[in-house]
Amino acid sequence: MDCSRAQQSQASDEVDKTTAVVEKQQHSQSKQVSKDVREGEKTGAWKYPKNQLSRIMRPDDANIVGNVHGGNILRMIEEAGCIVGTRHCNTQNGDRCLAALVRVEKTEFLSPVFIGEVAHVTAEITYTSKHSLEVQVKVMAENILTGAKKLANKAALWYVPCSLRNVDKIMEVPPVKYASAEQEEEGRKRYEAQKMERLETKARIEEVMPSPPNPEKHTVGFSQSSLIHLVGPSDCTLHDYVHGGVTMKLMDEVAGIVAARHCNTNVVTASVDAINFHRKIKKGCVVTVTGRLTFVSNKSMEIEVLVDASSLVEAEKGKYRAVSAFFTFISLDKDNKPLPVPALKVEGEDEQRRFDEGKARYLQNKEKRLSDKTRRQ
């Protein structure tokens, strides 16, 4: 405990020393954005700045040992994607619109981000269909005391532009120019694949059963956790619907609680499988975010996170499934080295089915990582 306080104190001192440097960087970046806007107005084509967001990581962004929460990184990713998507969709005449998040592809947390480091989030539109757009986002972590940089995260997000006059009206997306026909074809394949997966996920929606009283340790019921949150104005977009980044942050927090309860150690987000946004969540709704273990390997835990929403004043409308995803967490020792994870005790046919499905996803992702590693070599 004393060690943690010392680490946080040291990190806080570094934050205070480097704030002026960060503000200078952000001022320079703001000037570059203004220049890009002026050039875009002259040429009729928008130039996207490389760094949409840059922010220093402070103690309230991290856990007690200084690792920045994965949910905070996800929220920054969504904010950058929303900015670049909304700007692009409003370059055409007609109703003004706001880019709404509908899906996040599998996201790998490649390197941890620590207190005092600066997270640089770059967003770029890589494909557009008639009513949706794909945004590729990259997060670089920089130690501005040493100059060291590392790739922390890469993600692909899908947005649809919703009219500000009528949130149910989906606007058309201005096309983008591709470097080659192959690039456009690859984007089209990604679009068709995510569209099919979203439909399949929506069809698989199931209820969350409450955990049994006095569950045995290392069972699904023992670590299952829920968080209840009332959606307020600060959580919402101009449409009065919840920001996707706010929802993802809540989901990561619940998944982290589940993982920590199972192994009783420091845990961090390793990856997130596709996050599907099934229905919008409006201001004034009560959201229930539930996490439960579905699979455990030697060094990782897969946690299914489900977000259900209901109106606080219109209870007769009932509860509905809004978002679903699978988070993968790993257990770490005091030196941030992976630790073995206790085995999961499976009880009943439903838990066994979810465990088998989780194992299949784990093996598939493991095979893909090995394939990607071989291709890079």
What are the residue ranges of helices labelled H in the chain?
Answer: 2-43, 70-89, 181-203, 220-223, 244-263, 348-376
Of the candidates 77, 151, 72, the one whose C-alpha atom is nearest the C-alpha of residue 109 is 151
Which residues are annotated as catalytic?
Answer: 63, 252
Q: Measuring CA to CA, which residue among 193, 197, 186, 124 is closest to residue 157?
A: 124
Burial class (CB in 10 A: 0-12, 13-18, 19+), 113: buried
**Cβ neighbours for 208, distance < 8 A, ≥ 6 positions apart:** 290, 292, 306, 308
Beta bridge mates, 321: 308
Q: Answer for the pair 113, 140: CB distance below 8 angstroms, yes or no.
A: no
Distance of CA 55 to the CA centre of its chain: 17
Q: In this structure, what token pair is assigned to residue 327?
A: 């988070």
CA distance 237 to 283: 9
59: its two tokens: 């103690």
**349 in helix, strand or coil?**
helix
Is residue 157 a contact partner of residue 104, using CB atoms and an 8 Å limit?
yes
| CA–CA gap between residue 81 and residue 211 (Å, rounded) | 37
